[in-house]
Structure 1
């Protein structure tokens, strides 16, 4: 069945300049011999167990398949049994790569946004073995189970701050590409460290969609959210009141400013922004409302739609004024979530569209893992911020903080 590894011959080949590992390396026959010996032991043990159970099972020849490893490629003979109940463990059925190192390297490159063709080239350069794009796809698909586990993992009982924002991608559905929003939910735990709580895909937003999202967070253990900062998400304020009725909802001031300036003539933008800063940069809500009145007096006739937008959203735009500077700085904008979305864009900038939702989610999941590597420290002045939150939200953090 297998030729025995010739150690003396291998030494001669090594001295003659042949590579130890990689394509046609001298170690490939040894790896093949060791793996096949282990498979032989596995099948013998399996058949012995079957016989002890009274099942008249026996061996039934071999199946051959081409294996790829960091020590080169080789033909592997896998033993079979008559009843087809033998499930090899060292090299599982349908497994064609032997080295975890290769798979981890592929996942690492994929997680940096490299294309399948670039990954194929790099793997060939490093290990001198050829992998098809289908093989690489099957390896990256192994992430999907990790993604599902991550999406269903338990969460903390309370999050002082949560931000929600969307990023859009083209995903193939029913033979055509449609635009779908990926909603990222980023939270800050009681230890002051950031955590992506979840990713949710949807073609449209609304109270029903957000009710499903918030119910999912609740089912995964979240009992309370103190402050939620959002970018004018349709239906969100109504939905959150059904699941977390005591949550303070803050509309992103930075997004409101960006949306406003789109309707202001370019020649007036600099002056308008200077006047608008007096509103959102005021020391109190009362002072901000006075500045908003002045803004309307000056610009209301030219840009009524802009002023009206601030008036209509004022109750949720102005919530941050009631808090000290450290809390204001954290809650008044969703820009903090941009660090995650920048990582997403870096990974997906070469992708025009995605064949399905899983192909997008597995890439974004790796992006999150890359981003979280840097999230080792609590937010700036967190101890002071937490103390201030404990005063403003009296009693709501006591249980979690063991107070």
Structure 2
């Protein structure tokens, strides 16, 4: 045990330093020697306890010390950590490979990272606040600590039924084998029977495909999802087949907003206002029959000049029109993937300064931290949920009953 610390000398030096205007914490702070003494004394105490536990069976004993630099609120400390002969001693107060002393400071770093701050920004913040900075590798070691929690979250059990599930993809740049490649982050948001939205998982792949979506849906089922009442997706070919393979009873609704955007691409700007007025009569119709009548009129007016804007509506009508079978309150939440697109906008707000991510794990790690912040906001129930739930409970009585909670 290190008991040779001169408290009286420390006190005199600290008093003198205060009069000279020296800081209490940070690089060269007055408290640094005292903190170093306390930590080294505690580590010596840990070693003494460890030797009592191991000496008889292993004839273990002390074997010198190792020097370790640790960054703390009192500045950079050079700690002398004791070693034992067998190498079985594992420091508890300052574990091996820990570069930052306080968990609170690590949490601050994770919080800054989760809000989109770059490693350079975080290092500058630490320098301004605490008088020292961390290298990119040290910051990576800290942010990597969320990976086990992320894996646990990714594999967590899910609810057995979701009233509505939105599925869509968002593209990012990731460095892979020395070059920058495109990655798709697959987004799945579920609306539970409690009326709360949840991000169900994080998945990345080289491109968006119905085959990969099939693997995503299979993963959701393996994690406990037994039924999805309604799904809303973009126009990816084969998406509906992938959903029907895993959740055959689910209603598949193609996003109306996606389809509108695709159509607008083929209409000249000078005619766009007139086209929007006509097509609005389709998706805002009171029922499916009226919508089809209006669509045929739109085809008659615009179809010959701009077939690429109209023909997809006819080809995909069976997947674009299911929302007409539901009351207005349900229609409002199922006709578009705006919910997941809003989530994507929030991701972009955090990731827009990142450029290319160094790896898929780096991308997933940041998205996971954003989701944890976002989930706090999603604790409130969906707008008009009582009316929606009442309608859903009548329409899907038999499918909901096994999953109801009291």
CA distance in 1, matches of 2:210, 2:100: 47
Matched, 1:185 2:188: yes
Alpha-carbon distance in structure 2 between the residues aligned to 1:87 and 1:234: 55
- CA offset at residue 387 of structure 1? 1.1
1:114 corresponding residue in structure 2: 117
The aligned counterpart of 1:7 is 11
C-alpha contact (below 8 Å) 2:167/2:188 kept by paired residues: yes
Within the candidate set 277, 302, 308, 1:274 is matched to: 277
Q: Which residue of 1 aligns with 2:146?
A: 143
* More displaced 10-residue stretch of structure 1: 382-391 or 138-147: 138-147
- In 2, Cα distance between the equivalents of 1:76 and 1:272? 73
**TM-score, normalised relative to structure 2:** 0.96
| Separation in 2, partners of 1:150, 1:235 | 29
Cα distance in structure 1, aligned partners of 2:308 and 2:132: 62
Query: Which of 41, 44, 59 in structure 2 is aligned with 1:40?
Result: 44
Partner of 2:53 in structure 1? 49
Q: CA deviation at 1:295?
A: 0.5
Report what 2:287 is aligned to.
284
Aligned to 2:98: 95
Match for 2:302 among 278, 299, 323? Answer: 299
1:192 positional shift: 0.6
Q: Aligned partners of 1:29, 1:252: CA distance in 2, in Å? A: 63
Decide whether the 8 Å contact of 1:4 with 1:33 is kept in 2.
Answer: no
- In structure 1, runs of 5+ residues without a counterpart are none
* Per-residue deviation, residues 350-394 of structure 1 (Å, max 9, x unmatched): 122112101111111122122222213111110110110011112
- After superposition, residues 137-216 of structure 1 pair within 5 angstroms as 137-216=140-219
Cα deviation for residue 130 of structure 1 reads: 2.3
* Corresponding residue for residue 397 of structure 1: 400
Shift of 1:13: 2.4
Are 1:27 and 2:31 counterparts?
Answer: yes
Residue aligning to 1:65: 68
CA distances 1:30-76 after superposition (whole Å, capped 9, x unpaired): 11111111111111111111124x21110001000111101222110
Q: Is the 8 A contact 2:282 2:291 kept in 1?
A: yes
1:123 to 126, 132, 145: 126
Which one is further off, 326-335 or 129-138?
129-138
* 1:165 Cα deviation after fit: 1.2
Aligned length: 402
Q: What do residues 96-145 of structure 1 show as CA deviations (whole Å, max 9, x unaligned)? A: 21012221111111111111111111100000112212211221121222
In structure 1, distance between residues paired with 2:12 and 2:399: 73
Which residue of 2 is the match for residue 80 of structure 1?
83
Displacement of 1:21 after TM fit?
A: 1.3
CA contact (8 A) 2:24 2:30 kept: yes
Matching of residues 336-347 of structure 1 within 5 Å: 336-347=339-350
Larger mean Cα displacement after TM superposition, 214-223 or 4-13:
4-13
Q: Structure 1 length as normaliser, TM-score?
A: 0.96
**Secondary structure, counterpart of 1:201 in structure 2:** strand
Of 163-172 and 275-284, deviating more is 163-172
CA distance in 2, matches of 1:211, 1:338: 21
Tell me the distance in 1 between the aligned counterparts of 2:282 and 2:187: 29
Question: Structure 1 residue 133 and structure 2 residue 136: aligned?
Answer: yes
User: Counterpart in 2 of 1:321?
Assistant: 324
Contact 2:162 2:192 in 1 (8 A): yes
**Which residue of the other structure, out of 237, 243, 250, is the alignment partner of 2:253?**
250
